[in-house]
Amino acid sequence: MKRTFSRGLVGLAMATAAAFALSACAMTMPMGDMGDGDQNAADVMFVQMMIPHHEQAVEMSEVILAKDGVDPEVVALAEQIRAAQDPEIDLMEQWLDDWGLPSMSGMDGMDHGGMDHGGMDGMMSDEQMAELQSADGVTGATLFLELMIEHHVGAVEMAEQVIGDGRDADVRSLAEEMIVGQSAEITTMRELLAR
């Protein structure tokens, strides 16, 4: 079956390409297999894009953890998300280092030259992040759940994409773990919102 990229994935890929062009990065994006390694272009794109995606989830979690008056179950969820995704960021950074490729780390916390990730695979826009930061504890908890559901759905879609298109067994294993873990968290967040 022929697989196609979602509009969001293509949009973020285009933004990634623009970032490389603007920074005059010498790296050449692989279009097929990568030398003698096990990873292909889909694996590389997934890892490079998932790092800033995870970094934003960690940032969102830290924002809500810094607020007073947040539901303890939301606090526990934010701590769980941060604890799961921080080590995954380190792992993916190590893979890129091993592959001799650059990271997109920090992309969601920068100006990006005017780029706005809002709507791309669940990434929050600068405006949404600012709204989360300025909200009080009660309002912020609800907003956190709503935004993190969208964020997780985007991550699950990206993981499903690389399972279909990628080749690296380690990347596939991580993607499968993300699907299981983040799908469970989506269920929890929807239950919290429904109360």
**How far apart (Å, rounded) are the C-alpha atoms in residues 107 and 35?**
27
Q: What is the pTM of this model?
A: 0.77
CATH fold of 38-194, please? Ferritin (1.20.1260)
pLDDT at 2: 38
The residue type at 56: Q
pLDDT at 50: 96
pLDDT at 37: 65
pLDDT at 103: 87
pLDDT at 105: 78
User: How far is residue 41 from each of residues 9, 28, 124, 171, 193, measured CA to CA in Å?
Assistant: 14, 11, 25, 12, 38
- Residues of the chain falling short of pLDDT 50: 1-36, 108-119
pLDDT at 107: 59
* Closest by Cα among 123, 119, 91 to 107: 123
